[in-house]
């Protein structure tokens, strides 16, 4: 059992949980994730580890309520317990001295991006962060991302804060003006990561994306999270979740992400009396 | 009591089963087990051989005549206590062992009559004990002060843990999933092995002092070297062969195409058949095809059938004679309505235009010369392609070991098939103090072979620990 030590609402439907998990807190590295199961009936949900405190034995998770599973997780309060938490899973992010690294985060993708940006800054990289959200009130972890970046560009789809437009607009403008970073890391919704990869492709800039397929076990035993990378079948849970953004078959992954859409709807309906 | 003369020629008792068209609509157990009268009558057929061959046929060496003799005397408590001197998991073995190629194949009565129904009798006394609340924890030797880590809580790990605990060692089992049992909980369906039975047998190990740490992935949560650093004196690796093979044909990543591991894990471990009461979804359409001919394929096909589709086809590239599945399982599947399409191989999955599988292009096969496995090799018949309409596909063509442990453990060597190199008799690996057994060594095999390997490794680990203890004195 894993106790919820702290719960905060970061934005509408976006929560930050601090959860007791000593072993995971001691070992995790940026880019890794956990799988949790709230109770006996619930499904296994993968979530990136945003931060950890090995002394307190806690990890921080940030999630948006999307369906039944995250709704159940959001219903828990401080002191409540999560039945199962397993991790750290997946390969850690390749963090080394690249030079200049652009961290592009969309929506709550800024949460899993924060430890990576921090890791990159710690390795003496110049970190430029491009953070986008649909609207101003969905911009989260601003203070954190500023603390590890030498420059932060903000975009909102509706223009309520920062630059009006998408993260790729800001990125494209920079690249067109002759700026050539040594690496780009993109985390967010799949269409956004795809757009970032397409933006950097003509410039041949190393681009890392963190894929988010449907997972069950997260240990490499089922292939539910399989993705095509460079024409090869990879399991995101053990071979990833990060891959070369220029090699990913995005259309296939987008299709696989939609596999249980009707079932999700059915589950939500079943909760309405 | 006065013993009656053995009655080998008496007909073998037949395991009662629920009728196929009733049972193929639910997940309750298919075989309902012997009554006390049937169990006594069946064990009275045993000749009580002086040199019993049946024991040689049992990978864990159960003294079969001894526990049958107690049943014949009507002493079921005596029988289960005797049985548990040799095995910690009788309710499981009695259900899932292929006895026809093991103990029962060796039974001397089987030479002229039908062999004794040893598996059904093992199951009977284990169930009797549980149902009568008479469960006794086996006696454990005095504590040795030695600590052993067991990686994986499948049949190999559980057997090793039980055997070592019995010898007085402190055992900790590390399991990656949220429930112990390995393939017994995620792979074998409820209708063949109720999960409640696995839970009770695991509780029996806990009562013997075995600690089980769930949600702990060795290679990620901690490594084997960490275990030695934490004071474990030996490690047993029983992590199985859980990495699924795919067909490598176009369309395999379409929606509606599952590995058998994923399909069965969603159903058995996550209880997707009870969606939405349980939250894990599964897609089972109207026309299902399962690819493969082993027990896993049979389990997947029979599981799919219970979701009430129009048809379930089992597509296998050789003929029925070469199917690796147990004959009993093939019969069960056929009786319940699985259609067998043999000498047929998939070539490509077809898209419905919306990203879902709509059909499979297949090609007919004929059998050629025997291959390395000794089975006749299937050869495609040119021009025999046709399209079968399906909306769900389950691929059950085998598994190999996950490479996480060898990748994170220095000195632990693997074969080119990815299995761990280990001494067949002792389970010793290329790393001192690390032993291994079960599917991680043999590649995907049977539950009872894994238990046999676990039992042998436990003896070798005990020897290793005690020799070292003596050397230190």
pLDDT tens digits, residue range B272-298?
A: 999 999 999 999 999 999 999 999 999
- B466 pLDDT above the threshold of 80: yes
Name the pLDDT band for A146 (thresholds 50, 70, 90).
very high
pLDDT above 90: percentage of residues in chain B = 88
Q: Is the ipTM of this complex over 0.85?
A: yes
Mind listing the pLDDT tens digit for each residue in B261-272? Answer: 999 999 999 999
- A226 pLDDT above the threshold of 90: yes
- B1 pLDDT above the threshold of 60: no
Predicted local distance difference test score (pLDDT) of residue B142: 86
The span from the CA of B269 to the CA of B265, in Å, is 5
Interface mutation target, options B229, B276, B405, chain A, most CBs of A under 10 Å: B276
Which has more confidence, B369 or B115? B115
Q: Write out residues 73-92 of A within 8 Å (CB-CB) of B.
A: 83-89
The candidate with the shortest Cα–Cα distance to A2, out of A21, A23, A16, A15, is A21
Report the pLDDT averaged over residues A233-248.
96
Question: Per the CB < 8 Å rule, is A23 touching B276?
Answer: no
Q: Is A270 on the interface with B (CB under 8 A)?
A: yes
Name the pLDDT band for A267 (thresholds 50, 70, 90).
low
The chain-wide mean pLDDT, for chain A, equals 94
- B423 pLDDT above the threshold of 90: yes
Size of interface A-B (CB pairs under 8 A): 113
Predicted local distance difference test score (pLDDT) of residue A273: 41
Interface mutation target, options B221, B239, B265, B406, chain A, most CBs of A under 10 Å: B221
Mind listing the pLDDT tens digit for each residue in B184-226? Answer: 999 999 999 999 999 998 999 999 999 999 999 999 999 999 9
Report yes or no: B164 and B148 within 8 Å, Cβ to Cβ: yes
Mind listing the pLDDT tens digit for each residue in B305-338? Answer: 999 999 999 999 999 999 999 888 999 999 999 9
Predicted local distance difference test score (pLDDT) of residue A217: 94
Mind listing the pLDDT tens digit for each residue in B228-239? Answer: 999 999 999 999
Which of A24, A89, A263 shows the shortest C-beta gap to B281?
Answer: A263
Name the pLDDT band for A261 (thresholds 50, 70, 90).
confident
Which has more confidence, A66 or B341? B341
Name the pLDDT band for B78 (thresholds 50, 70, 90).
very high
HEC-encoded secondary structure of chain B = CCCCCCCCCCCCCCCCECCHHHHCCCCCCCECCCCHHHHHHHHCCCCCCCCCHHHHHCCCCCCHHHHHHHHHCCCHHHHHHHHCCCCCCHHHHHHHCCHHHCHHHHCHHHHCCCCCCHHHHHHHHHHHHHHCCCCCCCCCCCCCCCEEEEECCCHHHHHHHHHHHHCCCEEEEECCCCCCCCHHHHCCCCCCCCHHHHHHHHHHHHHCCCEEECCCCECCCECHHHHHHCCCCEEEECCCCCEECCCCCCCCCCECEEEHHHHHHHHHHCCHHHCCCCCCCCCCCCEEEEECCCHHHHHHHHHHHCCCCCEEEEECCCCHHHCCCCHHHHHHHHHHCCEEECCEEEEEEEECCCCEEEEEEEEEEEEEEECCCCCEEEEECCCCCEEEECCEEEECCCEECCCHHHHHCCCCCECCCCCECCCCCCCECCCCCEEECCHHHHCCCCHHHHHHHHHHHHHHHHHHHHHHHHHHC
User: CB-based contacts of A204: which residues, under 8 Å, 6+ apart?
Assistant: none
Q: Which of A258-267, B40-49, B123-132, B451-460 is predicted with the least confidence, judged by mean pLDDT? A: A258-267
Q: How far is A21 from chain B (nearest CA, A)?
A: 11
- B450 pLDDT above the threshold of 80: yes
Q: Work out the burial of residue B380: count CB atoms within 10 Å of its CB; fewer than 13 is exposed, 13-18 middle, 19 or more buried.
A: middle
CA-based nearest residue in chain B for residue A70: B279
Report the pLDDT averaged over residues B423-446.
95
Chain A residues within an 8 Å CB radius of B222: 23, 27
Kindly state the tokens that stand for A231. 């024409």
Q: How far is A51 from chain B (nearest CA, A)?
A: 16
Predicted local distance difference test score (pLDDT) of residue B4: 73
Predicted local distance difference test score (pLDDT) of residue B5: 86
Name the pLDDT band for A266 (thresholds 50, 70, 90).
low
User: CB-based contacts of A166: which residues, under 8 Å, 6+ apart?
Assistant: A132, A155, A157, A192, A195
Chain A residues within an 8 Å CB radius of B178: 37, 44, 83-84, 86
Chain A residues within an 8 Å CB radius of B281: 43, 260, 263-264, 267
pTM given for the model: 0.95
Report the pLDDT averaged over residues A56-60.
97
Kindly state the tokens that stand for A199. 């933006």
Predicted local distance difference test score (pLDDT) of residue A269: 56
Mind listing the pLDDT tens digit for each residue in B115-172? Answer: 999 999 999 999 999 999 878 888 888 899 999 999 999 999 999 999 999 999 999 9
The candidate with the shortest Cα–Cα distance to A232, out of A252, A217, A259, is A252
């Amino acid at each position: 059992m894993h106790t919820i030590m702290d719960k905060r609402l970061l934005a509408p439907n976006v929560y930050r949980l601090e959860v007791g998990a000593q072993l995971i807190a001691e070992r995790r590295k940026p880019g890794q994730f956990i799988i949790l199961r709230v109770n006996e009936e619930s499904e296994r949900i993968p979530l990136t580890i945003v931060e950890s405190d090995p002394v307190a034995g806690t990890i921080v998770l940030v999630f948006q309520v999307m369906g039944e599973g995250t709704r159940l997780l959001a219903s828990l309060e401080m002191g409540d317990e999560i039945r199962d938490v397993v991790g750290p899973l997946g390969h850690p992010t390749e963090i080394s001295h690249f030079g200049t690294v652009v961290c592009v985060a969309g929506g709550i993708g800024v949460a899993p991006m924060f430890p990576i940006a921090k890791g990159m800054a710690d390795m003496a990289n110049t970190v430029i962060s491009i953070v986008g959200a649909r609207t101003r009130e969905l911009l989260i972890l601003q203070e954190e991302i500023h603390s590890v970046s030498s420059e932060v560009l903000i975009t909102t789809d509706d223009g309520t804060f920062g630059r009006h437009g998408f993260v790729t607009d800001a990125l494209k403008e920079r690249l067109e003006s002759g700026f050539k970073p040594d690496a780009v890391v993109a985390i967010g919704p799949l269409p956004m990561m795809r757009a970032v990869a397409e933006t950097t492709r003509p410039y041949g800039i190393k681009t890392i994306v963190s894929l988010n397929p449907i997972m069950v076990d997260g240990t490499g035993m089922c292939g539910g999270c399989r993705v095509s990378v460079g024409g090869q079948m990879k399991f995101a849970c053990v071979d990833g979740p990060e891959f070369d953004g220029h090699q990913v078959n995005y259309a296939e992954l987008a299709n696989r992400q939609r596999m249980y859409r009707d079932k999700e709807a059915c589950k939500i309906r079943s909760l309405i009396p | 009591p006065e013993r009656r003369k053995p009655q080998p020629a008496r007909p073998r008792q037949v395991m009662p089963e629920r009728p196929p068209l009733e049972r193929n609509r639910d997940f309750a157990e298919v075989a309902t087990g012997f009554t006390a009268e049937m169990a006594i009558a069946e064990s009275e057929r045993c000749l009580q051989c002086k040199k019993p061959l049946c024991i040689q046929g049992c990978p864990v060496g159960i003294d079969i005549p001894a526990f049958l003799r107690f049943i014949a005397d009507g002493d079921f408590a005596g029988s289960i206590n005797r049985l548990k001197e040799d095995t910690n998991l009788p309710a499981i073995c009695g259900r899932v062992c292929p006895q026809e190629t093991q103990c029962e194949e060796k039974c001397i009565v089987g030479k002229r009559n039908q062999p004794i129904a040893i598996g059904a009798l093992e199951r009977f006394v284990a169930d009797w004990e549980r149902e009568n609340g008479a469960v006794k924890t086996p006696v454990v030797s005095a504590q040795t002060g030695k600590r052993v880590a067991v990686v994986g809580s499948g049949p190999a790990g559980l057997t090793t843990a039980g055997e070592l605990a019995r010898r007085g060692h402190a055992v900790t089992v590390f399991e990656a999933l949220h429930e112990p049992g390995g393939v017994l909980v995620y792979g074998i369906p409820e209708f063949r092995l109720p999960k409640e039975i696995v839970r009770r047998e695991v509780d029996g190990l806990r009562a013997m002092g075995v600690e089980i740490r769930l949600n702990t992935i060795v290679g990620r949560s901690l490594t084997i070297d960490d275990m030695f650093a934490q004071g474990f004196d030996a490690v047993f690796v029983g992590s199985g062969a859980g990495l699924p093979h795919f067909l490598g044909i176009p369309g395999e990543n379409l929606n509606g195409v599952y590995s058998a591991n994923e399909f069965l894990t969603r159903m058995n471990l996550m209880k997707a058949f009870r969606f939405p009461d349980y939250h894990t979804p599964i897609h089972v359409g109207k026309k299902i095809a399962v690819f493969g001919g082993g027990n896993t394929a049979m389990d997947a096909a029979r599981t799919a059938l219970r979701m009430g589709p129009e048809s379930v086809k089992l597509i296998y590239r050789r003929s029925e004679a070469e199917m690796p599945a147990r004959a009993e399982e093939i019969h069960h599947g056929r009786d319940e309505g699985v259609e067998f399409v043999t000498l047929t191989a998939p070539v490509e999955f077809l898209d419905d235009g919306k990203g879902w599988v709509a059909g499979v292009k297949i090609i007919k096969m004929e059998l050629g010369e025997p291959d390395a496995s000794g089975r006749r090799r299937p050869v495609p018949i040119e021009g025999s392609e046709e399209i079968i309409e399906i909306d769900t596909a389950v691929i059950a063509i085998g598994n190999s070991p996950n490479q996480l442990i060898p990748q994170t453990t220095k000195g632990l060597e693997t074969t080119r098939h990815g299995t761990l190199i280990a001494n067949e008799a002792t389970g010793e690996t290329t790393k001192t103090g690390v032993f291994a057994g079960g599917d991680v060594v043999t590649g995907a095999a049977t539950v009872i072979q894994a238990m046999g390997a676990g039992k042998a490794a436990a003896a070798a680990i005990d020897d290793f620990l005690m020799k070292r203890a003596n050397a230190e004195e």
